């Protein structure tokens, strides 16, 4: 093995360690958030009747545990091409489910904020179909056609690292997620400025505006970070960081 190969392998190990820490930190953050809010979940959600919103809440609530646990497992497990492919597909699908559930909650909140207007409901349905249908198609196509796995004789005994022959194109699904998110925050801000007097009188509106902006900033930061990692990062980091950031 040449000196260049040794340096490349050492750099890869450092990147793999970064990916492991990112996955583990995401899992720890999810567990911490669950511990400090589980009492509210029990009192408000567990005793309520089953509904569409409850399903969205539970999907949004528990999908991060699967994402981060699988991400950590992928970055730590012994190499097996079949198991690696299966786990990475489950991880990708679960991540998409979590984003769709989170966006569904924000859309429903915005729909209620505007007084449950039917025109807004139609807009959200069309927007969701126009965004998530191509998103799912792109991800499925990438998983079937582009995703391959390392043949490095060293890393195959240490970790499962999905690679991609078209890694630079995989940032497109992340940008698609920004479309409904931007629409939701734009409608929220528009409602605030179109009825300022009512917003000041109703304290709940202030909470909705604040939480909407915080959610948008969080989602925006997550998506942009994933785009940067996917475009500029190495396969070792981009493959395991994205589900948990």
Q: Where are the domains of the chain?
A: 3-241
Name every residue whose Cβ is closer than 8 Å to that of residue 122 and which is 6 or more positions away in sequence.
none
| Confidence band for 124, pLDDT divided at 50, 70 and 90 | very high
Under 8 Å between Cβ of 191 and 113: yes
Confidence (pLDDT) at 245: 45
Q: Largest Cα–Cα distance of the chain, in whole Å? A: 72
Confidence (pLDDT) at 129: 92
CATH tag, 3-241 = 1.20.1070
pLDDT digits (tens, 9 = 90+) for 159-203: 566 655 445 556 777 778 888 888 888 888 888 777 655 555 556
pLDDT digits (tens, 9 = 90+) for 204-239: 667 767 777 787 777 777 777 777 766 665 555 555
Task: Kindly state the average pLDDT of the residues 124-136.
Answer: 90
**Number of residues assigned to the chain:** 245
> Which residue reads 């198991």 in tokens?
83
């Amino acid at each position: 093995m040449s000196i260049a190969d040794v340096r490349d392998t050492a750099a890869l190990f450092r990147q793999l360690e970064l990916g492991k820490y990112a996955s583990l930190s995401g899992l720890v953050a999810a567990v911490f958030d669950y511990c400090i809010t589980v009492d509210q979940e029990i009192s408000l959600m567990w005793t309520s009747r089953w509904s569409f919103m409850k399903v969205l809440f539970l999907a949004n609530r528990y999908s991060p545990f699967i994402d981060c646990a699988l991400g950590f497992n992928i970055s730590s497990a012994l190499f097996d091409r079949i198991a690696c492919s299966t786990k990475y597909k489950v991880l990708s699908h679960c991540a998409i489910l979590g984003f769709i559930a989170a966006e569904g909650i924000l859309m429903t909140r915005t729909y209620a904020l505007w007084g449950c207007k039917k025109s807004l409901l139609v807009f959200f349905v069309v927007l969701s179909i126009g965004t998530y249908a191509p998103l799912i198609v792109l991800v499925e196509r990438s998983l079937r056609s582009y995703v391959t796995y390392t043949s490095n004789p060293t890393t195959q005994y240490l970790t499962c690292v999905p690679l991609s022959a078209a890694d630079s194109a995989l940032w497109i699904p992340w940008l698609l997620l920004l479309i409904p998110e931007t629409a939701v925050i734009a409608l929220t801000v528009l409602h605030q400025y179109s009825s300022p007097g009512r917003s000041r009188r109703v304290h709940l509106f202030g909470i909705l505006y604040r939480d909407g902006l915080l959610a948008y900033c969080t989602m925006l930061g997550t998506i942009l970070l994933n785009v940067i990692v996917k475009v500029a990062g190495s396969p070792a980091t981009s493959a395991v960081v994205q589900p948990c950031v």
